[in-house]
Amino acid sequence: MSPIAQPDAIIVGAGLSGLSLAIHLAAGGWADRRVLVVDDQRPGVAGWASWTARPGLLDAAATRTYRRVQVHAGGVARRLDLGAYRYQVVPHDELRRLAEASFGPGFAFVPGSVTSVRDEGHAAAVCLDGRTLRASWVFDSRPAPVPEPDARLAFTGWRIHSGQPLFDPAVPTLFDFRIGGCGFAYVLPDSPRRALVEVTAFVPGRSAPPPPAERRSVLAAYVRDVLGAADYDAVEAESSVLPLCTRPVDRGRGRVVAIGARAGLIKASTGYAFQRIQRDSAAIAASLACQGHPYDRPRSHPRHRWLDRVMLRVLDRDPAALEVAFARLFGGRSAEPVLRFLDEDTGPLDELRLIRSLPPGPYLRALGP
């Protein structure tokens, strides 16, 4: 397809949300349409990991799958079965290859940098490297400023290659609170000597996140003192600060629709967005195929935003409450009930049972002014 022809849709960004939407469009009745995916070709996130209980279109891009996880909280280490869930890793390169294999003749990647996007009523326009492209719909995944986030998630990760075997390649560590403060470490192994190791901290909305040098210092101490790595090489994998918001985001009502993090799909209490993005992409594709527009999408229940807001208020007032909460929530034999809760796949009674396992004081105080 010539890029000059007006496409049915332009997807701005070839990250997780852009590629996921393109794959769902190709599989959801738009295989014969014209779709451009704009890719600025800058280095981004190397990959994503998330839990899921259902088969999905992106499963073919997963390179590793885990059935158990490890949690260190409250001075206790637990290995937990995931029940109906699995934890899987999708590298960006594999997702890109899956997208290319899924595309019909009307889909294409277009290199370039987008400087502006605007709704023109009957179409939308994208300014790409000084030229204007128009389409019936534009789906925008560019980072958006968040004026007043409820909190931030600051993380720094290294790819560790250890001189001695340190890791169990069958069991990732989702939460390890032995770094202290309102944060935890995350370990995603791919061999006994290699793993992605991250430190993550929840930062209250009115506070400044720790600078990268401080996060690197905490990470080095964790690798040395907790993991016991005396001889290792480290390559910085990723470092970022994500805004966490519990308020609904205006995604647009015209021909320009926000997707991904720009659409508020990062869950405020966890920082995870992978499965939210898949559900949203599937809903957009179904709405376009059946209704001719992308707005017939289910919305997150206000109850889940309220629960996220309470959790962030608790962490704002008492950072140590995070470890206590996770020690209680992951205190059983299986992580499935908690993952269902974090995945917003629970009803009020399920949520009440989990909430009753938490110490009531901090959460009752968070309900007040």
pLDDT tens track for 59-82: 999 999 999 999 999 999 999 999
Q: Is residue 312 part of a domain?
A: no
Q: Is residue 363 part of a domain?
A: no
pLDDT band at 3 (very low <50, low <70, confident <90, very high): very low
d(CA 89, CA 50): 7
Residues 24 and 126 in one domain: yes
Q: Is residue 80 part of a domain?
A: no
Q: Are 186 and 173 in contact (CB under 8 A)?
A: yes
What pLDDT score does 44 carry?
67
Q: Is residue 328 part of a domain?
A: no
What pLDDT score does 225 carry?
94
d(CA 90, CA 47): 6
Mean pLDDT of the chain: 89
d(CA 180, CA 226): 12
Q: Of 255, 273, 291, at which residue does a domain stop?
A: 291
Phi and psi dihedrals of 151, rounded to 5? -165, 180
Q: How many whole angstroms from its chain centre is CA 308?
A: 15
pLDDT tens track for 116-175: 999 999 999 999 999 999 999 999 999 887 678 888 889 999 999 999 999 999 999 999
Mean pLDDT of 303-325: 85
Query: CB under 8 Å to 334, separation ≥6 — which residues?
Result: 80, 81, 82, 83
CB atoms inside a 10 Å sphere around CB 131: 10
3-class DSSP assignment, residue 189: strand
Residues 200 and 185 in one domain: yes
Residues 139 and 194 in one domain: no
Phi and psi dihedrals of 71, rounded to 5? -135, 130
d(CA 266, CA 17): 11
d(CA 36, CA 108): 5
- Per the structure block, which two tokens stand in for 110? 């277009």
Is 2 a residue whose pLDDT tops 80?
no
Residues 112 and 18 in one domain: yes
Give residue 23's domain range: 9-64+89-144+246-291
Please, which residues bridge with residue 65 across strands?
Answer: 88
User: In what helix (H) or strand (E) does residue 287 lie, and over which residues does it extend?
Assistant: helix 274-291
Q: Is residue 358 part of a domain?
A: no
Q: Are 59 and 88 in contact (CB under 8 A)?
A: yes
Q: Are 10 and 135 in contact (CB under 8 A)?
A: yes
Instruction: Indicate the pTM of the whole model.
Output: 0.91
Residues 136 and 23 in one domain: yes
- Edge-first strand order for the sheet with 124-128 is 114-119, 124-128, 131-135
Q: Are 58 and 27 in contact (CB under 8 A)?
A: no
pLDDT band at 304 (very low <50, low <70, confident <90, very high): confident
Residues 113 and 220 in one domain: no
Residues 166 and 238 in one domain: yes
In the chain, the N- to C-terminal Cα span, in Å, equals 58
Q: What is the DSSP letter of 144?
A: -
Mean pLDDT of 231-252: 86
143-178 exposure pattern, b = at least 16 Cβ within 10 A, e = fewer: eeebeebbbbbbbbbbbbebeeebbebebbbbbbbe
Residues 18 and 115 in one domain: yes
Q: What is the DSSP letter of 210?
A: P
Query: CB under 8 Å to 26, separation ≥6 — which residues?
Result: 35, 99, 102, 103, 104, 107
d(CA 117, CA 218): 40
Q: Is residue 304 part of a domain?
A: no
Q: Of 187, 209, 244, at which residue does a domain stop?
A: 244
- Per the structure block, which two tokens stand in for 338? 């908690």
Residues 102 and 224 in one domain: no
Q: Are 224 and 236 in contact (CB under 8 A)?
A: no
Q: Is residue 22 part of a domain?
A: yes
CATH of the domain at 231: 3.30.70
What pLDDT score does 1 carry?
41
CA angle 51, 60, 299 (to 5 degrees): 50
Residues 25 and 172 in one domain: no
CATH of the domain at 37: 3.50.50.60
Q: Is residue 356 part of a domain?
A: no
Phi and psi dihedrals of 226, rounded to 5? -95, -50
Residues 124 and 225 in one domain: no
Residues 203 and 283 in one domain: no
Q: How many domains does the chain have?
A: 2
